[in-house]
Copies of this chain bind each other. A is one copy, B any other.
Amino acid sequence: MDLSKKKCKPCEGGIAPLDHEEVSEYIKYIRDDWKATENHKLSKDYSFVNYKHTMDFVNKVADLAEEEGHHPVMHVYYGKVIIELWTHAIRGLSENDFILASKIDKL
């Protein structure tokens, strides 16, 4: 399944977050350096040689987030960005998070 070809769908709640089994299935389709924390958050660290490269990545992720209507949290250091993904409206993970993870990895 190529999640990067899918598009995030608006999510305003009313659905259950993915359970442990579903998270275990979806996580196979993104790179194995993404971590799922207690089934409710995906996170990954990215390293860069300097601040310019760091900010270039941050802006690409921000543009993608606006296109998809789904916004990760970014913790921005001099040469590192930690991306965190979850679906606010359902307080857990949805397919959207895995779609965005897949697309971020292709930036």
Contact = CB atoms under 8 A, between A and B. Distances in A.
Given A58-B58, A59-B59, A51 B76 contact: no
A75 B75 contact: yes
Contacts of A55: 59, 62
Contact of A51 (B58, B66, B78): B66
A36 interface: no
Contact of A71 (B71, B73, B78): B78
A55 B59 CA distance: 8
A74 interface: yes
Top 8 closest pairs, chain A to chain B, by CB = A74-B76, A71-B78, A55-B62, A75-B75, A73-B77, A51-B71, A51-B66, A76-B76
